[in-house]
Structure 1
Amino acid sequence: MRNLNEETITQAVLARNNDMKDARLKEVMTSLIQHLHAFARETRLTEEEWAAGIQFLTEVGQACTPTRQEFILLSDTLGLSTLVTAQNHRKPQGCTEATVFGPFYVDDAPDYALGADVGNGMAGEPCFVSGQVRGIGGEIVPGAKLEVWQADSEGFYDVQRDGGPAQGRGTLLADREGRFNFQSIVAESYPIPHDGPVGRMLDAMGRHPWRPAHLHFMVSAPGYETLVTHVFREGCEYLDSDAVFGVRSSLIADWVEHAPGRTPNGGESATPFYTLDFDFILNPVAKEKVA
């Protein structure tokens, strides 16, 4: 096909893709092409602007490493991660809400017994976390698997540090009553990595890179949908301006401060410590989805 112009190019590209055998891929690519072309027309995109956009995406890719996922940061800061999460995790009233996965999850985190110190020497004030996993009908979910990860008091996850043991992350199994407890540190607010292309984008848009204090959880159990969520710290100044749009009111909880003394695990603390109690309510897998 020759002599294409700005009015005919879109249909020409779509026609070229008519032989795609994967119906879902064809649906997605057709919509993507139509929206990209409409964007270029609507904004009257210049060659210089498109070259700058290509350079930006190139730099986003180049910034990705095994411990840093700049494309997830880009998706998160544009609100796309939250949109995809919301439309794929609609739940009945009463279920714990899902939110963004984030770029700092690590497979095969260390296993811990209930009550153990998941912080494993991570810098921060001590915090004792407890709760129960139940189903939407109020039923106990025994043996649920909880994966937890968080940043230290300086706003860094262990994978952002050079080497060293896993800290602030681990895997635990709830007991027969669905209850869990572990020790870690108090969650603090922190900026997402902003020394790369996504940070420059935020600067250009007049936006800050800060996330409110939170603790990540992934909770799974047979017969229930896997839940990926955060618990956010009440009173944090960034709850209404989270850089990645992840906050849900139902996920905000109190970190309760206690004077030095006896801790929930039966020990003694010479310094103030905190407790967090939060229950997770899982949604059963639809019967037609059960293998």
Structure 2
Amino acid sequence: MPSQVLQDSIKAGAAPAPAKKTIQPSPGPSHGYDPNFTDQVIAATGPNAHRRLAQVMPSLVRHLHDFAREVNLTVSEWKAAVDFINAAGQMSNDKRNETQLVCDILGLESLVDEISSKILQEDASPGSIASTPSAILGPFYRKDAPVLPNGSSIVAPETKEAFSKDLTYFSGRVLDNKGDPIPDAVIDIWHTAPNGMYEQQDPDQPEFNLRGRFRTDTSGRYSLYCLRPAPYPVPDDGPGGLLLKLLDRHPWRPAHIHVIIIANGFRPLTTQLFDKGDKYLKNDTVFAAKEGLEVDFIARPENEDGNWTLTYDFVLSPA
């Protein structure tokens, strides 16, 4: 669970909830605060500021200041928020990004993903095949997963027997928006074990278990063995879990497989494939599930390796 210091800080900053009504926004300048203060902060930006920062920071500052005025933010509440952000950063490392998890819980990463997807749709050529929808990266991505040949398994040999009922043959193609195959595309895949844990969360799993990178062949095809994923709760041992508890929200994510695809001449794709039968599809705690990414796991014939088959063709947008 999150540190007691963090919990105490948030408790100290919390104001009693109103019994029958919520705090209403302050009516603009009549709130009594200096109406010129925010403009002074924005005007402090110098003429040689980074171009993009100079574009976005005025909006960020205005929204932050308006938020503080709207809710009458207290010093203790502000300090609790600073402690919360610090705790998320201190818990993050190359195996887990707690700050990103907090963004996911607040729906921010999914919103940014939606904005990026809209830009791609607007840039698409008329009559072209729609690109595969994107989805959030999530906090448990790891770089440098092992590169494996097509047809091999991301399930560590020492865990294969224990996970045999979920063994899945996953294959398909990577195509451009004309339907032509993309050879030599790199597909990076990862997902949790049936216990709901990624390998870096679980000391009983081998390093890089259930992670691997594959290259498409000359026909744009890929193939591998993985597991049919299970729904799982996001970690509750840090600030993200504490936030869910304070907001009286459930922690569950629908079963999914993470995928990143990179190919020369095409925009990288970060996405997830969701088990169509999962009960959390309409109530994903990080708001990432999309109808266009729901897939069926088909029972595999008894004389073939694995119990399930998953087939999916990805479509990439040109760079």
SS in 1 for 2:188: strand
State the distance in 1 between where 2:39 and 2:73 align. Answer: 19
TM-score w.r.t. the length of structure 1 is: 0.89
State the distance in 2 between where 1:35 and 1:262 align. Answer: 61
State the distance in 2 between where 1:147 and 1:23 align. Answer: 33
Residues 205, 20 of structure 1: CA spacing in aligned structure 2 closer, same or farther, 3 A cutoff? farther
State the distance in 2 between where 1:213 and 1:247 align. Answer: 10
Pairing 1:127–2:161 present: no
* 2:287 alignment counterpart: 245
Which residues in structure 2 correspond to 1:157-236 (within 5 Å)? 157-162=198-203, 164-236=206-278
* 2:57 alignment counterpart: 29
Distance apart, 1:104 and its partner CA: 1.3
SS in 1 for 2:271: strand
Query: Which of 148, 156, 172 is the equivalent residue of 2:197?
Result: 156
Residues paired across the two proteins, number: 273
Structure 1 stretches of at least 4 aligned residues deviating more than 4 Å after TM superposition: none
SS in 2 for 1:34: helix
State the distance in 1 between where 2:45 and 2:317 align. Answer: 39
SS in 2 for 1:100: coil
* 2:314 alignment counterpart: 280
State the distance in 2 between where 1:166 and 1:94 align. Answer: 33
User: Unmatched 5+ residue regions in structure 1?
Assistant: 286-291
Distance apart, 1:17 and its partner CA: 1.7
State the distance in 2 between where 1:78 and 1:203 align. Answer: 13
State the distance in 1 between where 2:85 and 2:209 align. Answer: 32
Pairing 1:108–2:139 present: no
* 2:25 alignment counterpart: none
Query: Which of 122, 135, 138 is the equivalent residue of 2:179?
Result: 138
SS in 2 for 1:10: helix
* 1:289 alignment counterpart: none
State the distance in 1 between where 2:309 and 2:249 align. Answer: 32
State the distance in 1 between where 2:91 and 2:229 align. Answer: 27
SS in 2 for 1:262: coil
Distance apart, 1:20 and its partner CA: 4.2
Over the aligned positions, Cα root-mean-square deviation in angstroms equals: 1.7
8 Å contact 1:208–1:243 — kept in the other structure?
Answer: yes
Identity of aligned residues (%): 34
State the distance in 1 between where 2:249 and 2:235 align. Answer: 14
Letter in 2 for 1:155: G
Q: Which moved more, 1:230-239 or 1:89-98?
A: 89-98
Q: Which has the higher strand share?
A: 1
8 Å contact 2:170–2:309 — kept in the other structure?
Answer: yes
* 1:46 alignment counterpart: 74
SS in 2 for 1:25: helix
Distance apart, 1:116 and its partner CA: 0.2
8 Å contact 2:84–2:239 — kept in the other structure?
Answer: yes
TM-score w.r.t. the length of structure 2 is: 0.81
User: Unmatched 5+ residue regions in structure 2?
Assistant: 1-32
Q: Which has the higher helix share?
A: 2
CA deviation vs aligned residue, 1:101-139 (integer Å, no higher than 9, x gap):
111111111011110011124453211101111111111
